[in-house]
Amino acid sequence: MPRAKTVKDYIRTIKDFPHEGIMFRDVTTLFADARGFRIAIDQMLHPYAGLAIDKVVGLEARGFILGGAIAHQLSVGFVPIRKKGKLPGAVISEDYNLEYGEATVELHQDAIQPGEKILVVDDLLATGGTAAAGIRLIERLGGEILSCAFIIDLPDLGGRARLEQMGMDVHTLCAYDGL
């Protein structure tokens, strides 16, 4: 009997994208497969069964896909953290460093109420820069982050350790060595 497919089996690797030497982990192949997508969402939800979560926060952009599906399953609201200039209302901003430069993310200043329990979601945890910036935004609004969930961890880049040093609980579905 063949072994059951895992989330990792649905993820495509593209060599030298976006730069030479990078092994890009492409989750669009996971999203495009109904069974693979269902497995990922179910596995991302599993650790939070029975927890009181008020909102799911998705990090731009693939975190929107995952976060929307997870929020739907939990019957809670979804909040996007977006790149600078993409949200129409009053926002708070956070600058952070990327592997190849700097960026800014924003959150509507009325998106999260003090004391709300938050689950942060994205597809990939690399250096943790985007997630750390998002966490700081949520905390500035008084949100209580219960956990951060990702499909992929790239442990060699230190993102998990960075988030754990911030006191975050981190859950991932699979990991890849290297860049």
Tens of pLDDT, residue by residue over 34-78, are 999 999 999 999 999 999 999 999 999 999 999 999 999 999 999
99 is catalytic: yes
DSSP codes joined into one string, 100-163: TEEEEEEEETTSS-TT-EEEEEEEEESSSHHHHHHHHHHHHTT-EEEEEEEEEE-GGG-HHHHH
Check residue 65 and give its pLDDT.
98
The burial class, CB within 10 Å (0-12 / 13-18 / 19+), for 165 is exposed
β 55-59/117-125 pair status: parallel
Tens of pLDDT, residue by residue over 73-112, are 999 999 999 999 999 999 999 999 876 689 999 999 999 9
Check residue 178 and give its pLDDT.
78
Query: Which among 99, 140, 144, 164 is annotated as catalytic?
Result: 99
Q: Report the predicted TM-score, pTM, of the whole model to 2 decimal places.
A: 0.95
62 is catalytic: yes
